[in-house]
Amino acid sequence: MGLLLAPVFLVVFWYRDFLPGSIRFSLEIFSYIANLLSVPLLLRTFFKPLKSEYREGFVLFSIIMGVAIKLIILSVTIPIVFLTGIVLIAIILLILSLPIIIVWSLF
């Protein structure tokens, strides 16, 4: 009787334990990639002067250069973070549908 309940236990484990764990792990990976590429820091300090330059004639120039440099960096890092998010969503959808695919392929 225990052997017949193994598929039920597997599906319960898959959707109750494994899926939330994989979603949590994917969010940790996404957060790690975003922090590794300094996206939150760059967005938080976007309009602040570059190198904290607050001398009389250099404040406007420092703000403009800071925005320009941060915009270049963000134009490279945002697509990487976006593609990472798409890959992680695709993996989660695959994990979500894997038991259905296995049962469908058996019959």
Q: Which of 96, 88, 87 is nearest to 20 (CA)?
A: 96
Helix (H) or strand (E) holding 30: helix 19-36
Residue 105 reports pLDDT greater than 90: no
User: Using one digit for the tens of pLDDT, what is the confidence trace for 46-94?
Assistant: 988 877 777 777 888 888 998 999 999 999 999 999 999 999 999 999 9
* Residue appearing with tokens 């597997």: 10
User: Using one digit for the tens of pLDDT, what is the confidence trace for 66-75?
Assistant: 899 999 999 9
Could you tell me the CA-to-CA distances from 70 to 36, 53, 54, 65, 80 in Å, in that order?
15, 16, 18, 8, 15
Q: What is the mean pLDDT of residues 89-105?
A: 89
